Amino acid sequence: MGGDLYTEIFEKVAAYGSDPIEKKPLYHFYPGSKILSIGTIGCNLKCSFCQNYRISQVSPDEFDNFKLFSTEELVQIALNDEDNLGVAFTYSEPGIAYEYMYEMAKRALNTRLKSVLVTNGYINKAPLLRLLPYIDAFNVDLKAFSENFYHKMTHAKLEPVKNSIRIIAQSESHLELTNLVIPGMNDDFDEFEEMVRWIAGETGKDTPLHLSRYFPAFKQNIAATPVNTLLDLFEIAVRHLNYVYLGNVADERRSSTYCSKCHQRVIDRSGYYTEISGLDKKGNCTNCHHHIIDYI
């Protein structure tokens, strides 16, 4: 209007609820906590395999189930639950509702609440830097490690996502990464090893990586990822990274956390049930005292 852009979804929430922090997924950020999770509609990618397409791939005119929440109201809802860790911006791409997310994270800053962003990382440098001081933890979806995949499957580019990951890794915010493994699309062993080498070099070997099993959704009818493929990629990843996890598959061993020094199991996970079994209050291994988690 008048040469200015106005968001149509400010203070409009499409989905909200209390989730385990592990569902984001974040495994090294206050494990076992629950967090108020909110999302609106829209996305800046067009992934043909989107799991949340009912809210991510619609316009405001096509969605008629909004709940209206001011930033003050949502922060107060989060504060009213003494067991709630904070607010997570998730379900669809939070960057689409940048103004709403930014104002809410600013409002939460001077409270006990933590702000979490679950994102595709497709954001310009300036708005990301403006947001960083207000976000405590990120999970970035690194969908593949080829420009061809991003162009064909998401209608976007890989390099901006890599740049965002670099910026977050250099900040004080906590970072974890997720890779949804799709058969025949991003499961090439050589390409995958190139990706985990890059992660180790750019963000550090202690960056948690979640390998998530794909199931058919939206426009994709490729069969679900074979579990053996995930196991093979897991073995490649652990050569380069200290904390690799499998998601969307029942595997307690590969979803639990082990000390990277003495290999004692320090966090037990079964589904979204989490028990801290081998960490002290400072996040150190109780067996060898190696530091594992900053946020506990």
Helices 189-202 + 227-237 axis angle, to 10: 40
The pair of structure tokens assigned to 182 is 């799709």
The predicted pLDDT at position 5 comes to 82
The mean pLDDT value for 217-234 works out to 96
- Residue 25 maps to a domain: yes
Task: Tell which wins on pLDDT, 64 or 20.
Answer: 20
Residue 29 carries which DSSP code? B
Peptide bond into 25 cis (omega under 30): yes
Q: Considering the chain, what is the average pLDDT of its residues? A: 97
The mean pLDDT value for 90-102 works out to 96
The pair of structure tokens assigned to 77 is 């809802």
The number of domains in the chain is 1
The pair of structure tokens assigned to 41 is 């509609």
Domain of 66, in residue numbers: 12-255
- Residue 6 maps to a domain: no
The mean pLDDT value for 221-233 works out to 97
Query: Is the confidence at residue 171, as pLDDT, over 80?
Result: yes
The mean pLDDT value for 137-162 works out to 98
Q: Could you tell me how far CA 278 lies from the centroid of its own chain? A: 25
Instruction: List residues forming the annotated binding site for [4Fe-4S] cluster.
Output: 43, 47, 50
Residue that the structure tokens 């207000």 belong to: 134
Count CB-CB contacts under 10 A for residue 185: 21
Structure confidence by residue, pLDDT tens digits, 115-146: 999 999 999 999 999 999 999 999 999 999 99
- Residue 93 maps to a domain: yes
| CATH number for the domain that contains residue 33 | 3.20.20.70
The predicted pLDDT at position 1 comes to 60
- Residue 284 maps to a domain: no
Instruction: List residues forming the annotated binding site.
Output: 43, 47, 50
Query: Is the confidence at residue 161, as pLDDT, over 70?
Result: yes
Confidence label for 3 from pLDDT (cuts 50, 70 and 90): confident
